[in-house]
Amino acid sequence: MRDRADFERYVEQRSARLLRTAYLLCRDWATAEDLVQTALARAWLAWRRVGANPDPYVYRILTNTHASWWRRRWRGEVATGELPDGAGPGDAEAGLGTREALRAALTALPAKQRAVIVLRYFEDLPDEEIAAIVGCSVTTVRSQASRALAKLRLDPEARAAMETGS
Amino acid sequence: MTTRQEQDLRELLDSDSAEGLAERTGGHRGVTVADVDARARAIRRRRGRTAGSIAMAALAVVAVASLPRTEAAPMPEDVWTGVLAQPGSAPAPERSLPALPLYHRYERGGERETIRFRASATGVTFGLSCPADGHALVWLNGRFVASGPCGPTVAEPPGWLGDPAVAREGVNELTAALVPASSAGSGRMTEERAEQLLAATPAYPAAWRLTVLDTRTLDCRADVIRIDPGSGEIMPSCSSRR
């Protein structure tokens, strides 16, 4: 996969999905479009080297670019404090509150942890592939995911481990 | 993490991005090839300006260096002079090189081609996709590290070539070449034989691809299968996702 037609086909087929991924990374549609355009433009400039499956390359640019923008810009985000406890069964209103809290907690995650969560639970990528994309070991991916889930209060064991410092 | 909580997270990610995208594309065209082209042109221009600035800076350095030299008057011994040490900030040139995983396509057989990539000191392994009558030869940092045939047992390339090699920290140099399988034979491939074979093979058109992976991220890749280099048997890929 290396000629212009392949690239155009790739953009047409994958840009919507990439846009969703980028949005989940930055939580802003204009920035997400910027991210996807930058990632695809850089992929095009290196298209000869990209190989048959451009996804790992494009995802790597996407997450790296987002991380560097995240470091450079003030994002206007404020981390939430304590999250409300989980809703009881059938409590729709509390359910919505939990959903909002979960969304706020996701937004407050550091860039790398958010990338791991998005790649794992939205893109359904295996940890090994995530490690190659974010540029770290599989162990680091798992520890980042564990920390992120603890912050989202989805993994009580990990949260307890973090709170006790173990 | 419970299945329900994981499901909640998946649903939230899915619905948040889907709803927003629907609104976005309702009154907006999303990302198009034209947008990407415009961005690519902007990146090229920026790179051009950066290269121009570097060239101008280099010219300025050369101009200063070529100015006639003057010597300072001798300093009185009772005057203390000193310069504060500054941390070096020269950009590492290897940062522009590609990192693993690396996919490289070749268009010719019978001649060696060298590319450079960045890696940490780690084991690397090579996946090969090439025509059935090919035999690949791979050198890493000047050492002959892998060689292997394409087909006929390789039903779905790429297949693995031999044992993992070890990349060094920083910049690595990968050299690869393809020769006809008929001339490679079935005996053990040594570096000497590889050099002789390559020297005796004229260049010919051939489309093939080499994948270089960090062995730590080897498992569970959708685009790669494992093939026993001895028997040609296709090995099962990972059985569970994580």
CB contact under 8 A, B219 and A49: no
What is the predicted pLDDT for the residue at B192? 87
| Radius of gyration of chain B, Cα coordinates, nearest whole angstrom | 27
What is the predicted pLDDT for the residue at B205? 86
pLDDT (tens digit per residue) in A57-108: 999 999 988 888 776 654 444 344 444 444 444 444 444 456 787 888 888 8
Digit-by-digit pLDDT tens for chain B (242 residues) are 566 677 888 888 998 888 777 666 555 557 888 888 888 888 888 877 777 777 777 777 776 666 665 555 555 555 544 444 445 444 445 667 788 777 778 888 888 888 888 888 778 877 777 776 788 888 888 888 888 776 543 333 445 566 678 888 888 888 999 988 888 877 778 888 888 888 888 888 888 777 777 777 655 444 445 555 555 554 544 433 33
Give the integer Cα–Cα distance in Å for B8 and B11: 5
What is the predicted pLDDT for the residue at A36? 92
Task: Work out the minimum CA distance from B229 to partner chain A, whole angstroms.
Answer: 22
What is the predicted pLDDT for the residue at B2? 64
Which of A23, A46, A126 shows the shortest C-beta gap to B17?
A23
In chain B, what residues touch A99 (CB-CB under 8 Å)?
A: 8, 12
Give the integer Cα–Cα distance in Å for A162 and B138: 46
Q: How many of the other CB atoms lie within 10 Å of CB of B199?
A: 8
Given a contact cutoff of 8 angstroms between Cβ atoms, the answer to whether A31 and A62 are in contact is no
pTM confidence score: 0.48
Residue A140 has pLDDT above 90, yes or no: yes
What is the predicted pLDDT for the residue at B39? 87
Residue A120 has pLDDT above 90, yes or no: yes
Give the integer Cα–Cα distance in Å for A73 and B90: 24
Question: Smallest Cα–Cα separation from B177: which of B82, B112, B102, B122?
Answer: B112
Checking DSSP bridges between strand B204-214 and strand B113-119, what pairing results, if any?
unpaired
* Residue burial B102-111, b: 16+ Cβ < 10 Å; e: rest: bbbbbeebbe
Find residues 49-78 of chain A whose CB sits inside 8 Å of chain B.
49-53, 56-57
What is the predicted pLDDT for the residue at B169? 84
Positive or negative, the CA dihedral B43, B45, B47, B53 is negative
Task: Work out the minimum CA distance from A104 to partner chain B, whole angstroms.
Answer: 12
Number of helices (H) and strands (E) in chain A: give both, helices first. Answer: 9, 0
Give the integer Cα–Cα distance in Å for A5 and A62: 22
pLDDT (tens digit per residue) in A108-118: 888 899 999 99
- Average pLDDT of chain A, as a whole number: 78
What is the predicted pLDDT for the residue at A102? 82
Bond into B101 cis (ω within 30): yes
Q: State the DSSP H helix or E strand holding residue B209, giving kind and residue range, or none if neither.
A: strand B204-214
Which of B13, B24, B25 shows the shortest C-beta gap to A24?
B13
What is the predicted pLDDT for the residue at B30? 72
Residue A28 has pLDDT above 90, yes or no: no
Tell me, what's the ipTM? 0.77
What is the predicted pLDDT for the residue at A49? 82
What is the predicted pLDDT for the residue at A39? 92
Confidence of residue A152 (pLDDT cuts 50, 70, 90): confident
In chain B, what residues touch A117 (CB-CB under 8 Å)?
A: 9, 13
Find residues 25-64 of chain B whose CB sits inside 8 Å of chain A.
25, 30-33, 35-40, 42-44
In chain A, what residues touch B21 (CB-CB under 8 Å)?
A: 16, 19-20, 23
Given a contact cutoff of 8 angstroms between Cβ atoms, the answer to whether A58 and A21 are in contact is no
Question: Smallest Cα–Cα separation from A32: which of A79, A6, A70?
Answer: A70
In chain A, what residues touch B13 (CB-CB under 8 Å)?
A: 24, 117-118, 121-122
What is the predicted pLDDT for the residue at A87? 40
Q: In terms of CA atoms, which chain A residue is nearest residue B1?
A: A155
CA B153, B115, B208: angle at the middle one, nearest 5? 25
Tokens linked to B198: 């390559």
Task: Work out the minimum CA distance from B228 to partner chain A, whole angstroms.
Answer: 21
Give the integer Cα–Cα distance in Å for B48 and B45: 5
